[in-house]
Chains A and B, each alone.
Chain A
Amino acid sequence: DIQMTQSPSSLSASIGDRVTINCQASQDISNFLNWYQQKQGEAPKLLIYDASNLETGVPSRFSGSGSGTHFSFTISSLQPEDIGTYYCQQYDKLPTFGPGTKLEIK
């Protein structure tokens, strides 16, 4: 299995801040990486696919970058509705998810 790690595991930021979450794969996965947002009590939502492509209807303040083993997810200006847990997921091999990053408002 390809192991995914994320950092930080939790994050507290202020409204309007730029927020970055990192994701690392245990081996080269090219750009086969997705990002999801999960709000409390809800199912996950696909935000970014193929490492950097914004899913339809997702606000442009969300972005992703990276390839190979290192990836990042950025919120350019944090909004109150962005609180939740963010997961990366690889699909180079059978899919595996990162452990998640919990984002809170300071």
Chain B
Amino acid sequence: EVQLVESGGGLVQPGRSLRLSCVASGFNFGDYAMHWVRQLPGKGLEWVSGLSWSSSGIAYADSVKGRFTISRDNAENSLYLQMNSLRPDDTALYYCVKERRSESGYPEYYFASWGQGTLVTVSS
């Protein structure tokens, strides 16, 4: 069974940094592209960033480009999101998400398996 467990969320002041982690199990983590998707409180979904199995292909939403960095450690079955220069509009539940299939190993944007999310609140 696929399991994705996020951690690292919390309350942080505007301008500060936070690092999210996601530990994966139940599948060959190193074969799959992975993503972060966020959900604003009581609102809709926004894709944040994704990267390929080898980290050679990385993409960001314009809203976080230059501030957030996605990375992975396949040996540790882990995905990360380094968030710098946080703003109040970054407040959201952040989900770790697995691609549907591993054939290409690159982001194809079929969000097939989701963690339960970690809440990030940016406020002074």
CA distance A97 to B46 in the complex (A): 7
Q: Is the CB of A44 closer than 8 A to any CB of chain B?
A: yes
Q: Is the CB of A1 closer than 8 A to any CB of chain B?
A: yes
Instruction: Name the segment of B10-18, B21-29, B80-88, B108-116 touching the other chain.
Output: B108-116
Q: Which residues of B contact A43 (CB under 8 A)?
A: 95, 114-117
Tell me the smallest distance from the CB of B96 to a CB of chain A, in Å. 10
Binding site for B on A (CB under 8 A): 1, 34, 36, 43-46, 49, 55, 87, 89, 91, 94-100
Q: Is the interface of B mostly helix, strand, loop or mixed?
A: loop
Residues B110 and A46 in contact, CB atoms below 8 Å apart? yes
CA distance A89 to B62 in the complex (A): 17
Residues B47 and A49 in contact, CB atoms below 8 Å apart? no
Residues B47 and A96 in contact, CB atoms below 8 Å apart? yes
Tell me the smallest distance from the CB of A41 to a CB of chain B, in Å. 9
Contact with B110, one of A34, A45, A87 (Cβ below 8 angstroms)? A34
